[in-house]
Amino acid sequence: MNISVNLLVGFAMGLNLIALGSNRLPSLIRAMSVQGVLLGIIPLLMEKELDWRVALVALATAIGKGVVIPGLLRRAMRAASIEREVDPFIGFVPSLLLGAAGTVAAVALAQGLPLLPEHAGSLLVPGALASVLTGFILLVGRSKAISQVCGYLILENGIYLFGLLLIKTTPLLVEAGVLLDVTVGVFVIGIIVDHIQRAFDSLDTRKLTALRE
């Protein structure tokens, strides 16, 4: 596995921490969209000769995660006129510490997993685990719907990173992951449509509590 791929995965892991530490939604969205574009570049660097299916996945990923979804999220943010994540369930410093500890644990755990010789020394597995964990922290620890969607996207990015290990042998399974982006699209369009229909004022998921025992 070549060095440039590891470098990009390392960048993506750094962006995880930025996402965990930022309290302004625009910077969270920016961290996530930069990560999306990086993820789109990685498969292009992995092989010497480029397969068209791989190129297609790369293109769909970069456009979907880097342009379309961030654009939709910004629209949702404007529709709801909120800029900040205030009063999250898990504070910014604790989530940053959790994320950092998780990244270390991911690297350690990846050492213990049996990998194929050509994947040994690659950062793909630790990067995937760290992103999945970051995604979970954001999903559970943030109260604003838009932050939770960003968390879901980062979780999804982790799955995509892991999928890159399999892109040559089972491309269909990896391509299927694009459907997760569609899910996110539905999420965000849901927010926008709902906001247009009703003044769902602060888009705070804490207010989604009419349904409980």
Q: How far apart are CA 206 and CA 130, in angstroms?
A: 27
Question: Does residue 107 bind another protein (CB under 8 A)?
Answer: no
The single residue among 33, 103, 134, 148 that binds another protein, judged by CB under 8 A, is: 148
Instruction: Map residues 171-190 to x or -, x wherever contact with another protein holds by CB under 8 A.
Output: -xxx-xx-xx-xxx-xx--x
Question: Does residue 43 bind another protein (CB under 8 A)?
Answer: no
Question: Does residue 205 bind another protein (CB under 8 A)?
Answer: yes
Question: Does residue 204 bind another protein (CB under 8 A)?
Answer: no
Give me the residue label for tokens 């190129």: 55
Stretch binding another protein (CB under 8 A), from 23-31, 52-60, 65-73, 164-172? 164-172
Tell the smallest beta-carbon distance from residue 170 to another protein (Å): 5
Tell the smallest beta-carbon distance from residue 24 to another protein (Å): 22
Q: How far apart are CA 191 and CA 35, in angstroms?
A: 23
**Is the Cβ–Cβ distance between 138 and 146 less than 8 Å?**
no
**Is the Cβ–Cβ distance between 27 and 92 less than 8 Å?**
no
Residue 163 burial by Cβ neighbours in a 10 Å radius (0-12, 13-18, 19+): buried
Any idea how long the chain is?
A: 213
Beta carbon nearer to another protein, 43 or 163:
163
